A and B are shown apart, each in its own frame.
Chain A
Amino acid sequence: MDLKEKLISSFWAFENHQNEDAYLHKIRTEAIKSFEDKGFPTKKEEAWKYTSLNSILKNDYSVFPKQENTIEYNDVKKYFIHDIDTYKIVFIDGKYASHLSQTTHDGMDICLMSSALSKPKYRILVENYFNKIAKNDSLTSLNTAFSSEGAYIHIPKNKMVAKPIQILHFSTGNESAIMLQPRNLIVVDENSHVQIIERHQSLTDNGVLTNSVTEVFINKRAIVDYYKVQNDSLNASLIDNSYINQKQESICSVHTFSFGGKLTRNNLNFFQQGERINSTLKGVTIIGDKQHVDHNTLVHHKEPNCESHQDYKGVFGENSTGVFNGKIIVDKEAQKTNAFQSNKNILISDKATINTKPQLEIFADDVKCSHGCTIGQLDESALFYLRSRGIPEKEAKALLMYAFSNNVLSSVKIPEIKQRINKIIANKLGVNIGFDL
């Protein structure tokens, strides 16, 4: 039985165990049918031309892992941003880990998707927001069909959430391979501000495939800063499907730091529904080995006077491969749009590959749109300059790669994240440079 068949038959077993809930049952069954029709994406599809899932679909994944919360905080502390106070929503093998979490219902809801889907008091929000902007492509549909757990965050209006929220998914490797399908719903009401950090971490070398879906609704003048830290083990793969819906004058930034994992695909979609919206998409990718990272972005400008800024930097070593596919759509109504896109890459190995493709579909006539992509090597003259000042070759290369990605880091608003990312970069490059990288 291949993975597709296994998932479909598991679905019916799973669905029969759910409470009688006609509303969700309908959504889930429609979703599994959509997945059944489409199947896993193949390289024949334009959006998957450079990313093949074949190698990761071969594993015999356990779809409903057993619950064994054997992890203690000290074992995993290093994966948390622990030097500042934060809310935490933590999952182990897909199941909520209350002993590692810090949630709240005090004036806002920072809690679990399973509660939101089952408790009557959340029903109106669920009906208004759940599965409203997620596409019905095969992988999102698959997640929707299995959606039962994840983070549920609702920030009512006029609220500055003082502490960042960490969403962490650990996999223990108790089974030889597992498939996880977390589903997050985040609703931020007018004038509120929230910061979110998301990380998926495998604790062993056993196979993990995470197919995650996150829907974020940002109402008028609200601000959301989202940080995705992807530094997983070499047998862990992540497909991150994120859908962000912005209302007028809202500001949203998503920073994606991709340093690890076997295969990482980021489907990051922004829909601008209102005027004077600001969307920022930034990413730093530094990979080696046979790793693969694919950034597939969409920014859909639907109304006038909005902005979007995309800045993705990539450093590719050894046999690694990268993809950047950035689509900007500017509707006819969306006059005075400012849309910028930049994708710069450095190949530090002859065997590394990057495929980069900007796609602009502009139907308005009074807009400013620019895009640029570059692929190059480390600048030899800069390297000699640094070395002539006594900085050894390895450190000099690290410094140049750090400098290359620095402007992506400069917009990170939580200093502890910046420090953490700097440390990961330094570790990744195997250096300990004389200043706080």
Chain B
Amino acid sequence: MLKIKNLHASVEDKSILKGINLEIKPGEVHAIMGPNGSGKSTLASVIAGKEDYEVTDGDIFFEGQDINELAAEERAHKGIFLSFQYPVEIPGVSVTNFMKTAINETRKAKGLEDMPAKDMLKLIREKAELLEIDRKFLSRSLNEGFSGGEKKRNEIFQMAMLEPKLAILDETDSGLDIDALRIVANGVNKLKSKDNAVLVITHYQRLLDYIVPDFVHVLYKGRIVKSGTKELAHELEEKGYDWIKEEVNA
């Protein structure tokens, strides 16, 4: 589904990703862990198509197509979704109107008619229930005044609405209490199928107790320096990142 080859990316001439190789197949859950500043969020943003980052070398293929030249919205239309570490507050646009626009624009891009209002309402209700989101919440301005937990739940609600093929969860666990974490993880797990894939980006192992990865990769200084299974995550939790740094620097 996603194939990243020798990816180099920089922002304002500062090189951040220095040769990433990663392959994610349908049905898989991958986790990327790593110390602060290792390039985790950059990788997420580059896959999603943020223009601030310049890909200086390498390729990103999604379902066999080179997506490097595609705009963020075109990648979204293909089924790539990024759950933001810091969801942006947009006063004046309600959650509902935002989702309607996003879904209908995606349908438009696929040559489909707008979703009938009735179906849209039903879908919104269904997915809000999955994330235990109150209906009043949906008429509020997008992310404005939301608590950390509400913001993250809202991200996964959007994911549930858009049903992406590849969901990238960027530090979705940060700022969540244990109840919110459970709700969010539960939502992600319910959306999982053999046809879609999840890339979890996290500093800590605790989210991975709920969203269990098939593969764990350690990102350090812009490279994947170690890959393994979920046991690697436990090892990192116990021992921290120092031993990895030592291995790499040695």
Interface residues in chain A, defined as those with a beta carbon under 8 Å from any beta carbon in chain B: 379-382, 384-393, 395-396, 399-400, 402-407, 433-435
Which of the candidate stretches B46-54, B175-183, B220-228, B235-243 sits at the interface with the other chain?
B46-54
Is B90 part of the binding interface, using a Cβ–Cβ cutoff of 8 Å? yes
Q: Taking the complex as formed, is B92 at the interface, i.e. its CB lies under 8 A from any CB of chain A?
A: yes
Closest 3 CB pairs of A and B: A403-B92, A434-B104, A406-B92
In the complex, B114 has a CB within 8 A of chain A: yes
Q: Which of B49, B84, B100, B162 contacts A434 (CB 8 A)?
A: B100
Q: A387-B76, A388-B48, A390-B73 are in contact. Are A434 and B90 (CB under 8 A)?
A: no
CB neighbours (8 Å) of A386 from chain B are 90, 98, 102
Partner of B49, one of A380, A388, A392: A388
Contact of A390 among B88, B92, B105 (CB under 8 A): B105
B88 surroundings in chain A (CB, below 8 A): 379, 381-382, 385
- Which label, helix, strand, loop or mixed, suits the secondary structure of the A interface? helix
Chain A residues with CB under 8 Å of B37's CB are none
Question: Are A390 and B106 in contact (CB-based, < 8 A)?
Answer: yes
B84 and A395 contact, CB distance less than 8 A: no
A407 near B92: Cβ-Cβ < 8 Å: yes
Cross-interface CB contact of B102 among A379, A380, A391, cutoff 8 Å:
A391
* Chain B 51-87 residues near chain A, CB threshold 8 A: 51-52, 71-73, 75-77, 81-82, 84, 87
For residue A385, which residue of chain B has the nearest CB? B88
B residues in contact with A381, CB < 8 Å = 88
By a CB distance below 8 angstroms, the chain B residues around A390 are 73, 76-77, 102-103, 105-106, 109, 162
Q: Is B91 an interface residue (CB 8 A)?
A: yes
Contacts A389-B162, A402-B92 known; list 19 others, CB within 8 Å: A379-B88, A380-B52, A382-B90, A385-B87, A386-B90, A386-B102, A388-B49, A388-B76, A388-B81, A388-B82, A389-B98, A390-B102, A393-B73, A402-B93, A403-B93, A404-B92, A405-B92, A434-B114, A435-B101
Minimum CB–CB distance for A376 against chain B, Å: 14
Residues of chain A within 8 A (CB-CB) of B81 are: 388
Q: Kindly state whether residue B97 has any CB partner on chain A within 8 Å.
A: yes
Partner of B50, one of A384, A400, A405, A435: A384
Pairwise interchain contact B92-A387, C-beta atoms closer than 8 A = no
Docked Cα-Cα span, A379 to B75, in Å, equals 21
Mask for B20-62, Cβ within 8 A of A = 1, else 0? 0000000000000000000000000000111110000000000
Partner pick for A389 among B50, B52, B102, CB 8 A cutoff: B102
Whole-angstrom distance between the Cβ of B68 and the nearest chain A Cβ: 16
A-B pair count, CB < 8 Å, reads 85
CB contacts (< 8 Å) of B98 on chain A: these are 386, 389, 399
Which residues on the A side are within 8 Å of B105 (C-beta)? 390-392, 395, 434
User: B202 contacts the other chain (Cβ, under 8 Å)?
Assistant: no
State the Cβ distance, B3 to closest chain A Cβ, in Å. Answer: 20
The verdict on B158 contacting chain A, using a C-beta distance below 8 Å, is yes
Quick check: B100 and A435 within 8 Å, CB to CB?
yes
Chain B positions within 8 Å of A434 at CB level? 100-101, 103-105, 114
Rounded to whole Å, the gap between the CB of B102 and the closest CB of chain A is 4
Q: Using Cβ atoms and an 8 Å threshold, which residues of chain A touch B100? A: 434-435
Q: How far is the CA of A402 from the CA of B93 in the complex (A)?
A: 8
B162 near A393: Cβ-Cβ < 8 Å: no
* CA distance in complex: A304, B92 (Å): 34
The interface centre, meaning the residue of A381, A402, A405, A435 with most chain B CB atoms within 10 A of its CB, is: A435
* CB–CB A433/B90 < 8 A: no
Q: A389-B158, A393-B71, A434-B100 are in contact. Are A403 and B76 (CB under 8 A)?
A: no
For the complex, give the distance between the alpha carbons of A390 and B105 in Å.
6
Point out the residues of chain A lying under 8 angstroms from B71, CB to CB: 387, 392-393
A434 to B114, CA, bound (A): 7
Please report the C-alpha to C-alpha distance between residue A390 and residue B104 in the assembled complex, in whole angstroms. 9
B90 / chain A contacts, CB cutoff of 8 Å: 382, 385-386, 400, 403
20 contacts across the A-B interface (CB closer than 8 A): A380-B52, A384-B51, A384-B72, A385-B88, A385-B90, A386-B98, A386-B102, A387-B71, A388-B48, A388-B72, A388-B82, A389-B158, A390-B162, A391-B101, A391-B105, A395-B101, A400-B90, A405-B92, A434-B101, A434-B104
Minimum CB–CB distance from A115 to chain B (whole Å) comes to: 44
Contact with A along B190-214 (1 / 0, CB 8 A): 0000000000000000000000000
Alpha-carbon separation in the docked complex, A385 to B93 (Å)? 13
Residues from chain B with a CB closer than 8 A to the CB of A392 are 71, 73, 105, 109
Contact status A385-B101, CB under 8 Å: no
CB distance from A410 to the nearest CB of B (A): 9
Residues on B with beta carbons closer than 8 Å to the beta carbon of A435: 97, 100-101
A403 touches B91 (CB 8 A): yes
Q: Do residues A399 and B73 form an inter-chain contact, with CB atoms below 8 A?
A: no
Residue of B nearest to A433 (CB): B101
A399 touches B76 (CB 8 A): no
- Distance between B116 CB and nearest chain A CB, rounded to angstroms: 12
A387 near B114 with CB under 8 A, answer: no
Which B residues are CB-close (under 8 A) to A399?
93, 98, 101
Taken together as a complex, chains A and B put the C-alpha atoms of A385 and B81 apart, in Å, by: 11
CA separation between A390 and B82, bound complex, in Å? 11
Residues of A within 8 A of B75 (CB): 388
CA gap between A22 and B12 in the complex, in Å: 76
- In whole angstroms, how far apart are the Cα atoms of A392 and B102 in the complex? 9
Q: How near does chain B come to A401, taking the closest CB pair, in angstroms?
A: 10
**Complex interface: chain A residues within 8 A of B76 (CB):** 387-390
- Give the Cβ gap from A219 to chain B, nearest Cβ, in Å: 36
Q: Which residues of A contact B106 (CB under 8 A)?
A: 390
Residues of A close to B50: CB separation below 8 A: 384, 388
Set of chain B residues within 8 Å of A393, measured between Cβ atoms = 71, 73
CB distance from A327 to the nearest CB of B (A): 28
CA distance A399 to B49 in the complex (A): 20
Q: In the complex, are the beta carbons of A391 and B92 less than 8 A apart?
A: no
Residues of B contacting A384 in the complex (Cβ-Cβ under 8 angstroms): 50-51, 72
Cβ of B74 to closest chain A Cβ, rounded Å: 9
Tell me the complex Cα distance, A296–B105, Å. 40
Residues of A within 8 A of B158 (CB): 389
CA distance A434 to B50 in the complex (A): 24
